[in-house]
Amino acid sequence: MNIAAIQTFLCVVRTKNLNSAAAEMNVTQSAVTARLDGLEQVLGQKLLVRSRKGATMTKAGFAFLEQAEVIARTWENAKAKVSLPRGITNLFSFACDPALWGSLGEAWVKKAKASHPDTAFEVWSGHTPQVQSWLQSGMTDAGLLTEPIVGPTFQSREFATEQLIQVSTTPRQATAWDPGYVYVDYGPAVRAQHVEAWPGDNTARMAFSNPDWALRYLLAQGGSAYLPTTMAAPLIAERSLFAVEGAVDFTRKTYLAWRPASAASFPWIAP
């Protein structure tokens, strides 16, 4: 199977047009068509419905899409590993849940880089199902997630327990409801803690799945929200945010998962 054909399929899916894909890849439209024809012939399935208006995926195309992305990313990863700069002997591919990067992931990568100057790092953003697929394929060495990955081809450990505190852009005490409250969804475990602590029927007018986005919104628009202590502490110290007096704190567990083969090359990811 030709990697160029797979890359062309992904480009057409992204641009939804053969002409646009040809321009982006700097090839002729006939080359794009030939690559797609060859790929469909090898797979024995029609992947795209092509017309003058554009290109849309078939059922088989949707089924192939995830594997095509894995193959293309694995290829790019392999190319990166064989073209490392002088003095660098390893490439560590790290996946991080986007909601964990600002509070935990960035600091961990910074520390790992300082401790392992002979290693290059690349960081990918993904949620648990994606990261599990990337780990299984070998495209990623380790992932920082909000839930553990269980299986014979994975290993994982509890990474950290984050404390989540309610903060506000103005000094205040805890109340049954703040009209400016911004809800941050930290997943089922924290959701249950939130319902127990704040059983009211009021619904926040603004909600985020990522605390970094919630923080930017708070600083721009005002209000209150639950944020990781590591994220909120510097802003509390400079009085840009204030801890809400009397508010219940929550906790969130995070997990680091990795491939056993990766632990042989990067033993520092294991406990």
CATH of the domain at 224: 3.40.190.10
Distance, in Å, from the CA atom of 172 to the CA atom of 190, rounded to the nearest integer, reads: 23
pLDDT at 88 over 80: no
| pLDDT value of position 84 | 65
Last residue of a domain, one of 59, 81, 103: 81
- How far, CA to CA in Å, does 210 sit from each of 107, 207, 229? 17, 9, 15
The percentage of residues in the chain with a pLDDT greater than 70, rounded to a whole number, is 96
Residue 130 and residue 263 in one domain: yes
Residue 127 and residue 137 in one domain: yes
Distance, in Å, from the CA atom of 73 to the CA atom of 42, rounded to the nearest integer, reads: 20
Q: State pLDDT tens for residues 172-203.
A: 999 989 999 999 999 889 999 999 999 888 88
Which residue bears the tokens 């490439």? 91
| pLDDT value of position 2 | 82
Residue 209 and residue 219 in one domain: yes
Which band of pLDDT confidence, cut at 50, 70 and 90, is reported for residue 1?
Answer: low
pLDDT at 229 over 60: yes
User: DSSP H helical segments within the chain, as ranges?
Assistant: 3-15, 18-25, 29-43, 59-81, 98-100, 106-115, 128-137, 188-197, 211-221, 229-237, 260-265
Q: State pLDDT tens for residues 111-158.
A: 999 999 999 999 999 989 889 888 887 788 999 999 888 888 889 999
Residue 125 and residue 152 in one domain: yes
For 76-82, the CB contacts below 8 A with 24+ separation are: 77/122, 77/139, 80/120, 80/122
pLDDT at 165 over 90: yes
Nearest to 95 by CA among 105, 103, 104: 105
| pLDDT value of position 144 | 97
Residue 155 and residue 165 in one domain: no
pTM assigned to the model: 0.71
Distance, in Å, from the CA atom of 153 to the CA atom of 155, rounded to the nearest integer, reads: 7
Distance, in Å, from the CA atom of 178 to the CA atom of 127, rounded to the nearest integer, reads: 31
Number of compact structural domains in the chain: 3
Residue 100 and residue 64 in one domain: no
CATH number at residue 38: 1.10.10.10
Residue 122 and residue 172 in one domain: no
pLDDT at 224 over 60: yes
What is the extent of the structural domain holding 144?
Answer: 90-159+258-269
Q: State pLDDT tens for residues 43-60.
A: 999 999 998 888 999 999
Angle between helix 18-25 and helix 3-15 axes, rounded to 10 deg: 120
Higher pLDDT, 244 or 136: 244
